A and B are shown apart, each in its own frame.
Chain A
Amino acid sequence: MEALVAERVSKCYGEAETRVCALNAISIRLESGKIVALLGPSGSGKSTLIKAVGLVTPPDAGNIWMQDKLVVKAGQRTANASKLRREYLGFVFQKANLIPFLTARQNVEIACEIGGDPNPRARATELLEYLGVMSRGSALPATLSGGEQQRVAIARALANRPSLILADEPTAALDKARGRAVMELFARVAHEQGAAVLVVTHDQRTLDVFDVLYQMEDGRLERWREVVPVAS
């Protein structure tokens, strides 16, 4: 099943001579269980695409489906954005963006609550164990390492069992080893949890973990390629 289908999505800013189109009739399909990299220089429109498919900033035109449900029709949301995000989406940011006054477990638990899980505490425990940070569950974010914070952030993104996880440069604040570990974790999440994971990244050293690569340039998806696993 396709976790996301975007069709001719456009988003422009400014008027007349100052008008700049960050997304030029972009179409993209993300399959469930695949990890996809979105590459491209700064200003190419990657963040705008994440905001559009993340239902944060509505596009000017185009349609978006999530698991076959039309969520954006001709640039207009078909339902409440918060509700749609609760149902379909998980986010991971450049910084972990954990809520500082909640412990690691509480950060995941609050996401489970918002996602409508009937037993948020148990679900949070399950996710922290899955991501290997259960031992740090009672720690506040400020006391966690960068890698631990991102693991907790990924656990949080999985709280509502999303069909699509959007990650905006999640390894930018990490060193090489930790960055790679996080990317591998995303791949594991995609393959084991069955979610599609769209990762915006500049890190060329970890491209081997991705199933599909997209390249953005001037608001267009210039090219893409399927990554053939080395083993095969």
Chain B
Amino acid sequence: MNLALQDVRRNPGRFVGTSIGMSLLFTVVLAMAGIYQGLVEDATVLVRSLHADVWVVQHGTRGPFADISRLDPSMEARVAAVPGVRRARSFTYQVLQRQQGARSLRFAIVGQGWPDDRGGDLPLMAGRPLGQSHGELIADASLGLPIGATLHLGDEEYRVVGLTKQFLASSGDAILVATRSDAQLIVENLPPDAVRTERERRAERLRSTDLGRAQPSLEDLAVDPQWRPPALPSSTIAAVLVDIYGDARLNDVRRTIASWPDASVYTTPEQERLLLDGVVEKPRRQLGLFSLILVLTSSVLIAAVIYMMTLQKTHDIAVLKLMGAPATRIAAMVLQQAWLIGILAYAIAIAIGTQAFPHFPRRVVLTTLSISGVGALVVVVSTLASLLGVAYALKVDAGRALEA
């Protein structure tokens, strides 16, 4: 006969009430584990979705996510010329915040090389990849923009043609995907006055030269809206994504590009590790410490509850001892009660979490590993918490049963 189960059966209110209290703490522990897993997935989803064998970034940096990387756009052509390279794609990345009417939108904008990269490899849940070199965006559904919605960014209008699901930056912000030139236009979004002034200066300088005077039509070029003012820094790219012919050539390509003075090379797993070490490490520690405090708090509370329950059963324990019950049976009763409280609390925590976590502002990912890991932790915590009660129960004098 299981004494712990019988006690629970006859006093369900006390056990369920205690377990509900404990479940709230376990829900937070579960949320911490889920938020961490969400951070990891958010941090790596972009890198994985781009399916590059090698990332070329600015020399000496760990870019483009863990660091700032600036490469001249010519790097794309240089990399493409390396023997063994099947495809080289330019890539830009920037986190921005822009006002859209009354709403402030925060997002990471990714620029991909047109026409090689149209976003076909992205996790699209609706719509289509980019179909033209200008004016189209793929947006994450978390921004709340429907297919066909128009965004006014910089001086241009952009139409949402595709929607992704859970395609987030390591900061948790939604990702917008555009062609590289559109992304640069949006990021740079220069003040109109600076552009106009520079164009006027260029026209004046042209007029002051023999060539300008001889060919006035050249002024049209100087004031062309597509023209970029040379006084301002030229657009850079953040990285070049490289696809290689077969894994066997990866090391050769890597060695070649790494020998250049202006480039560093990372494989996709290395890029993921950099992201996790750089971007996720501190939140991970913070979440870990917070979880530790919660686990300790849970342990103390379960220990107190179990100790009180054991105190209340002092006389019953003495009677059992007087009947000759072995110490293992008495210890098992206390331990099993701690487990029952822990397991019931954890089951309630999972039920609460499953309902509540989807509404959290940051992604909370509950994996089988995190659920079973926290579950194992609950068993360990319950076991440790029961020790005080077990120690007390074992010390109860059988003679107390004879006291009136």
Contacts and interface: CB of A to CB of B under 8 A. Distances in A.
Answer whether A and B are interacting partners: yes
Interface of A: 47, 50-51, 54, 56-57, 81-87, 89, 91, 93-95, 97, 99-102, 106, 109-111, 113-115, 120, 140, 156, 159-160, 168-169, 172
Across the A-B interface, the 6 shortest Cβ-Cβ residue pairs: A86-B324, A101-B10, A85-B324, A56-B399, A101-B7, A82-B324
Contact of B322 (A56, A94, A95, A140): A56
Interface string B299-335: 0000000000000000110011111111101000000
Q: Counting chain B CB atoms within 10 Å of each CB, which of A57, A91, A109, A115 scores highest?
A: A91
Given A82-B321, A99-B319, A140-B10, A94 B1 contact: no
B324 A56 contact: no
Nearest to B325: A114
A93 B324 contact: no
Contacts of A50: 402
Nearest to B3: A110
Nearest to B399: A56
Contacts of B397: 56
Contacts of B399: 51, 56-57
Contacts of A91: 322-323, 401-402
A131 B201 CA distance: 115
A109 B1 contact: yes
Q: Counting chain A CB atoms within 10 Å of each CB, which of B6, B7, B316, B402 scores highest?
A: B402
Nearest to A83: B324
B323 A85 contact: yes
Contacts of A100: 10, 316
Given A99-B320, A101-B10, A114-B324, 12 more contacts: A47-B402, A50-B402, A54-B322, A56-B397, A82-B321, A82-B326, A82-B327, A85-B323, A91-B401, A91-B402, A93-B402, A120-B1
A102 B6 contact: yes
B3 A97 contact: no
A87 B324 CA distance: 9
A84 B321 CA distance: 12
B323 A86 contact: yes
B233 to A, nearest CB: 78
Contacts of A56: 322, 397-399, 402
B158 to A, nearest CB: 69
A107 to B, nearest CB: 9
A23 to B, nearest CB: 15
Contacts of B320: 99, 110, 114
B102 interface: no
A110 B323 CA distance: 9
Q: Counting chain B CB atoms within 10 Å of each CB, which of A85, A97, A113, A156 scores highest?
A: A97
Q: Counting chain B CB atoms within 10 Å of each CB, which of A57, A93, A109 scores highest?
A: A93
B226 interface: no
Given A97-B315, A101-B11, A114 B6 contact: no
A109 B6 CA distance: 13
Given A83-B324, A97-B319, A106-B1, A168 B6 contact: no
Nearest to A86: B324
A160 B325 CA distance: 12
Q: Counting chain B CB atoms within 10 Å of each CB, which of A87, A110, A111, A140 scores highest?
A: A110
Nearest to B1: A110
Contacts of B326: 82, 114
Contacts of A83: 324
B16 to A, nearest CB: 15
Interface string B58-69: 000000000000
Contacts of A160: 323-324
A125 to B, nearest CB: 14
B404 interface: yes
Nearest to B400: A56
Contacts of B6: 101-102, 106
B402 A168 contact: yes
A87 B326 CA distance: 13
B10 A114 contact: no
A93 B10 contact: no
B333 to A, nearest CB: 11
A124 to B, nearest CB: 10
A56 B402 CA distance: 9
Nearest to B7: A101
A156 B11 CA distance: 23
Contact of A97 (B9, B329, B401): B401
Contacts of A106: 1, 6
B404 A82 contact: no
A137 B299 CA distance: 39
Contacts of A89: 324
19 contacts: A47-B402, A54-B322, A54-B402, A56-B398, A82-B324, A85-B323, A91-B322, A91-B402, A93-B402, A99-B319, A99-B320, A102-B3, A102-B6, A106-B6, A109-B1, A115-B323, A120-B1, A140-B10, A169-B404
